[in-house]
Amino acid sequence: MTTSAPMPHNRRPAGCPFRPDAGLEQHRADPELPRLSTFNPQLGDFEAVLVTRADEVRQVLADPRYEAGFAFDRTGPRTVMNQPGILLNYDGEEHTHYRRMLSGAFTVKRVRSLAPAIRRVVDERLDALEQAGPGADLIETFAGPVPLLVICELLGIPLEDRDGIQRRSATGTDVANTLETQLENFAAMAAYMGGLIRRQRADPGDDILGDLIRRHGHELSDDELIGMGNSILVAGHETVSSMIGLGTLALLRDEEQLAIVRDDQSVAPGAVEELLRLLSVAPPLVRQANADLELAGRPVKAGERVVLSTLAANHDSDLLPDGPARLDVRRRPVAHLAFGYGAHQCIGQQLARLELQIALPALLRRLPGLRLAVGFDAVEYRDDALVFGVARLPVTW
C-alpha cells in the first residue's frame, strides 16, 4: 500500500532531535516494505520503497543492482547535485574511475597529516568564541567556521572568499529554497569554482585540487573538476558543522557523558562513533532497482526507487540491542551507517572523524563550564535542510 509522507531524512520527534520520529519507528517494525509518496529536491515528488532496518539498508547499499546515479540528467540544468564529477551520479566502472582519482586525497596517512592544521583552526575559533563572550552562538562562531576553514584550506580557497563560500553552501542544502534560487546559487558556486580551477591549472597548489590537476588534469574537464570541488566543499562542510553543533547539544544534555569526553582524551574516537550513530545527520540515500529484485523475501520491482533511512537503521535494536536511543560515549562502536556502506560509502569519512575527535574535546576542555544560554526547548533546528542540524546554539560558560 502506498501512503503519503515527507522525505524521511530530518524528521525527529518534537523536542527530541536525537532519535527517529514515531513514523519511522513504526515502519521499521512493519513486516512489509512500505511504499511512500515522498519528495526530494533533486527528484521532486516520487513513489518509493522505504527501507529502515539496518541489515536491509546494508544489503541494498552493497548490491550494485540498486543504482545511485539514476537521477543524473546530463542534459538538464546544473544544480548542486546534478553535475558531472559527483560520485553519487555514477555507478559501476564509471564510479570506480572517478573515485580512484579522489581517493588519494583522503588516505588515512594524508588525513592524519592534517591534524596540526585542524588543531590550529580549532584553537583559533575557540579564541574567537571566547572573545565573543558568554551568550555567543556556537554555530556561527565555532561549529560552522571550523569545518569550512579546514575544507577551504584543503581546496586552496583564499581566506577572503570564505564568507561567500559558507553562504552559498548553506543555500545549496536548504530544501526550502525555490528552484530558481537554487539554480542562481549553483551558477555562482560553479563560476567561483571554475575560476579557482583555471588558476590551479596554471599553477597547481599543494591541495586537493592542485593534486587532482597534477595527476589527472589531462583526464578531467573543468566541468568535472567543478563538480568534484563543489561536492567536497558542501559535503565536507555541512555534515561536520551539523555534527559539531548537534553533538555539543547532545553532550550538554548529559553532564555525565560530557564530563567523560572532556576529561578522558582516550575516549574521543569511540565517542565520535557513538555520536555519528546516534545523530545520523546526513540525508537518506535514494537508489533505483535496475531489475526485479527481492529484499528479505519481499519484491522490489525494476524501476522502483528505494529510500534508505540511515537514521532509522542506526537506531535499530538489531544493530544495537542495548538502548540505541541512549548516548553512551564508552559504548563499544558498532558498524553504523552514518557514512553509508558499500561502493558509495563517504570518501571523506576519515577527515570528518578526525575533525570531530579534535574539535569536540577541545571545546569542552577550553570552556569547562559550557552550558546552554537558552532553554533546551528554545533551540532552533534546520528541519528543512538536507543535512539535519542546529540552526542557532546560544551558549554561555
Using the predicted structure, report yes or no on whether residue 349 has a pLDDT greater than 50: yes
- In sequence order, what DSSP letters do the residues of 184-222 get, joined into one string? HHHHHHHHHHHHHHHHHHHS--SSHHHHHHHHHTTT--H
> Which band of pLDDT confidence, cut at 50, 70 and 90, is reported for residue 377?
very high
Range 28-57 average pLDDT: 88
Give the pLDDT mean for 85-113: 92
Residue 217 backbone phi and psi in degrees, to 5: -60, -30
pLDDT for 176 equals 66
pLDDT of residue 8: 53
Query: Which amino acid, 341?
Result: Y
Taking only the tens place, the pLDDT of each residue in 127-139 is 999 999 899 999 9
Strand pairing report for 380-381 and 285-289: unpaired
DSSP structural state of residue 142: I
Per CATH, the architecture of 2-396 is what?
Orthogonal Bundle (1.10)
Least confident span in 199-208, 234-243, 300-309, 378-387 = 378-387
Instruction: Please state, in angstroms and rounded to a whole number, the distance separating the CA atoms of residues 75 and 154.
Output: 31
pLDDT at 195 over 90: yes
Mean pLDDT calculated for residue range 15-31: 88
Query: Which of 379, 287, 388 lies closest to 11, judged by CA?
Result: 388
Mean pLDDT estimate for the chain: 90
- For residue 359, count CB atoms less than 10 angstroms from its CB and return exposed for 0-12, middle for 13-18, buried for 19 or more: buried
- Domain layout of the chain by residue ranges: 2-396
CA distances (Å), 136 to each of 32, 128, 131, 363, 392, in order? 48, 10, 9, 13, 10
| Joined grid coordinates for residue 35 | 511504499
pLDDT tier for residue 105 given thresholds of 50, 70 and 90: confident
Grade residue 11 by pLDDT with cuts at 50, 70 and 90.
confident
CA 232 – CA 247 distance, rounded (Å): 22
Residue 4 has pLDDT above 50, yes or no: no
